[in-house]
A and B are shown apart, each in its own frame.
Chain A
Amino acid sequence: NAGVTQTPKFRILKIGQSMTLQCTQDMNHNYMYWYRQDPGMGLKLIYYSVGAGITDKGEVPNGYNVSRSTTEDFPLRLELAAPSQTSVYFCASSSRGQGGYTFGSGTRLTVV
């Protein structure tokens, strides 16, 4: 049982480049989330989805975009990478919204 799978694990981007962080879950969860974690800080919600075709902004959405075409996949897109987007990104999912989330192991992104 894979749970939540994130790829890649590490990436270095140059300023202005774009990339997509992939997230896939095999638990048939409706709810999916993207968080970023900066050193010494808690996790901040970027975007979330309550089901296929539905997405909404979280606390820190600027500079990111998401899509949810299937229940399993919830990719996060960075269009014009900036140094402020250097962070560790976590994808998570849950079956019913309330209660605990299952997190992936993260993508460490550095923008130089």
Chain B
Amino acid sequence: GQQLNQSPQSMFIQEGEDVSMNCTSSSIFNTWLWYKQDPGEGPVLLIALYKAGELTSNGRLTAQFGITRKDSFLNISASIPSDVGIYFCAGQGYSGAGSYQLTFGKGTKLSVIP
């Protein structure tokens, strides 16, 4: 199956610092998505990117769809304690018969030190 390389695996940062994480793939995707997962909960969509080169913001979050369609990054500015969680990237491609499938990275575990 397709593989996504997400880095870093984990991060410890001071409250107020900026955070950057990224995903790379050997395959081209039509869509890149970023999710956040809190403990004991399912992933929640943060940002969806649909076009190569697209840069999209959602509050303190900014994500970009790489020009090659094989990578994406997520930045979080001025981190706060509630940013703690696991962040997943996901690439989406068309798999035929009207179906799209998501391939997930292994996640970046973010810890924020107050």
* Residues in A lying within 8 Å of B, measured CB to CB: 4, 31, 33, 40-45, 48, 50, 56, 58-59, 90, 92, 97-106
Contact A98 B92 (CB under 8 A): yes
Known contacts A33-B102, A56-B99, A98-B31; 10 additional CB pairs below 8 A are: A41-B106, A42-B105, A43-B104, A48-B99, A50-B99, A92-B42, A98-B92, A98-B100, A99-B48, A104-B42
24 residue pairs from A and B, CB less than 8 Å apart:
A31-B99, A33-B102, A40-B107, A41-B107, A42-B106, A44-B104, A45-B102, A48-B99, A50-B97, A58-B101, A90-B42, A97-B100, A98-B30, A98-B92, A99-B31, A99-B50, A100-B45, A100-B48, A103-B42, A104-B42, A105-B41, A105-B42, A106-B41, A106-B42
In the complex, what distance in Å separates the CA atom of A31 from the CA atom of B45? 16
Specify the chain B residue showing the minimal Cβ separation from A58: B101
User: Which chain A positions have C-beta within 8 A of B44?
Assistant: 103
- The count of A-to-B residue pairs whose CB atoms sit within 8 angstroms is 62
How many interface residues does chain B have, given as a range? 20 to 34
B114 within 8 A of A: no
B59 within 8 A of A: no
Contact B40 A106 (CB under 8 A): yes
In the complex, what distance in Å separates the CA atom of A48 from the CA atom of B95? 12
User: Which chain A positions have C-beta within 8 A of B100?
Assistant: 97-98
Shortest distance from the beta carbon of A70 to any chain B beta carbon, whole Å: 19
User: Which chain B positions have C-beta within 8 A of A58?
Assistant: 101
